């Protein structure tokens, strides 16, 4: 189906310009200059027909961008000293999503790097000598999932991990991200991802989680970091994914959530914003796009219902506007620099827009009481090949990913198989 590119979709400030609306106009100007290059000649009088066949994923450039970063970063990246596990995760996951091999040398280096961040008290630090942190723990565990292998999985101290996670537990059901640190839904997501993968879920760990996340839903419909704070795309994914892990998405007002999420897709740009009256940003291709996949399951929608956002428009934004054609990598928007963060999350969003990954409402597992119900429900997510919808040439296809965990399905399954062959910490939830 052809896509009509039209300036009629642009933002209307009703002749009352503000700093916010002026920035929106500037972004639309820069994106319009890109999109018009893809319009078929002779159709552009009132907009034009978008020629999708011109869109290419510059996979080789992106691979080189990632591998160059893995070989060493400049001194300017010292500000990311507390985010070292994230650099490994972003890099490894980007390569895997693009179908590039994680060779033995890269695997060994990544494994040795991440292992250095494991704290003897449990959890992982953002860098050597730092406090263990839930975000660093999540990134480290996900990096080890991508590295794969019994040696990588066995290097994680499950018992101390659980003990440390419980020390982060708060009375309201949430978790502090580190000792004396902030408390928000991001920490809840990190804990439940780690615990569900390592087979250390217990009733005590998940106690109060659903109630806390439900209180984070705002009057707009999305989720904020903690109760009473503005809804945000990143926290919405974290909260919704956490509830999916424990089988409790029903505690949210899903229709109100769907309305807020649908408003995040920008009519002219095609990409997502993270908050009301904010600009489009490539990273929300996953933070909001992934949340849509989980919402689809929560609403018992099927591939025949299609998604609640325009998948092809999002792919056009990622492919036309987020790729750095000069050095490789993906970026926030035109005019910004590519980085590992936007590269990974842009590729994740592209994957979820290309592939329909979901759960059949007729056969889905509803049990939430058994420890083993968690991997059973998570591995029910599968690719519906007949519902694939790829913009551009066939070589643009990337690997399908799990919307809850944000990694491809095979390494995820291998991790779950390893840890659920070990005895659980508790028989039931």
Catalytic residue ranges? 232, 275, 278, 281, 283-284, 332, 339, 342
Please, are residues 66 and 91 in contact by the beta-carbon 8 Å criterion?
yes
Neighbours of 40 (CB within 10 A): 14
Q: Which helix (H) or strand (E) holds 62?
A: helix 59-70
Q: How far apart are CA 155 and CA 157, in angstroms?
A: 6
**Could you give the CA distance from residue 312 to residue 314 in angstroms, rounded to a whole number?**
5
Distance of alpha carbon 95 from alpha carbon 93, whole angstroms: 5
Angle (nearest 5°) at CA 421 between 418 and 425: 110
Question: What is the rounded CA–CA span in Å between residue 345 and residue 349?
Answer: 6
Helices 233-245 and 185-198 cross at an angle (nearest 10°) of: 40
Asked if residues 232 and 265 have their Cβ atoms less than 8 Å apart, the reply is no
Start-end of H helices in 199-337: 203-206, 209-215, 233-245, 254-262, 284-287, 289-298, 311-321
**Opening angle at CA 333, ends 142 and 85, nearest 5:** 20
* Helices and strands: H and E segment counts in the chain: 18, 4
Structure tokens at 277: 């009256």
Which of 156, 167, 163 minimizes the C-alpha distance to 124?
A: 156
């Amino acid at each position: 189906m052809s896509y009509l590119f039209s300036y009629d979709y642009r933002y209307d400030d009703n002749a009352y310009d503000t700093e916010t609306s002026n920035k929106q106009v500037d972004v639309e100007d820069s994106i319009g200059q890109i999109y018009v290059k893809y319009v078929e000649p002779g159709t552009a009088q009132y907009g034009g027909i978008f020629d999708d066949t011109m869109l290419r994923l510059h996979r080789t450039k992106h691979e080189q961008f990632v591998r160059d970063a893995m070989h060493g970063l400049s001194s300017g990246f010292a500000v990311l000293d507390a985010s070292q596990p994230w650099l490994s995760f972003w890099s490894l996951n980007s390569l895997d999503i693009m179908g590039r091999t994680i060779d033995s040398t890269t695997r060994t280096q990544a494994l040795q790097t991440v292992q250095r961040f494991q704290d003897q008290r449990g959890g992982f630090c953002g860098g050597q000598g730092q406090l263990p942190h839930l975000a660093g723990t999540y990134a480290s565990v996900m990096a080890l999932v991508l590295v794969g292998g019994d040696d990588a999985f066995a290097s994680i101290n499950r018992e101390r991990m659980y003990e440390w996670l419980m020390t982060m537990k708060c009375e309201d059901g949430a978790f502090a991200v580190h000792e004396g640190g902030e408390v928000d839904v991001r920490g809840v997501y990190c804990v439940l991802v780690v615990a569900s993968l390592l087979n250390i879920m217990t009733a005590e760990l998940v106690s109060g989680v659903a109630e806390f996340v439900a209180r984070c839903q705002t009057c707009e419909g999305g989720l904020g970091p903690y109760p009473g704070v503005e809804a945000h795309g990143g926290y919405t994914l974290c909260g919704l994914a956490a509830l999916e892990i424990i089988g409790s998405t029903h505690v949210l007002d899903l229709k109100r959530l769907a309305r807020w999420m649908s408003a995040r897709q920008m009519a002219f740009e095609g990409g997502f914003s993270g908050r009301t009256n904010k600009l489009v940003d490539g990273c929300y291709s996953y933070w909001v796009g992934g949340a849509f996949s989980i919402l689809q399951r929560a609403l018992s929608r099927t591939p025949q219902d299609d998604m609640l956002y325009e998948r092809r428009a999002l792919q056009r934004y990622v492919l036309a506007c987020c790729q750095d054609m000069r050095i490789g990598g993906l970026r926030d928007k035109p005019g910004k620099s590519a980085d590992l963060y936007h590269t990974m999350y842009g590729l994740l969003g592209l994957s979820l827009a290309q592939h329909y990954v979901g759960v059949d409402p007729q056969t889905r597992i509803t049990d939430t009481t058994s420890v083993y119900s968690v991997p059973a429900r998570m591995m029910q997510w599968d690719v519906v090949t007949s519902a694939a919808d790829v913009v551009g040439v066939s070589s643009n296809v990337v690997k399908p990913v799990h919307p809850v965990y944000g990694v491809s399905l095979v390494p995820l399954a291998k991790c779950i198989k390893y840890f659920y062959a070990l005895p659980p910490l508790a028989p039931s939830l």
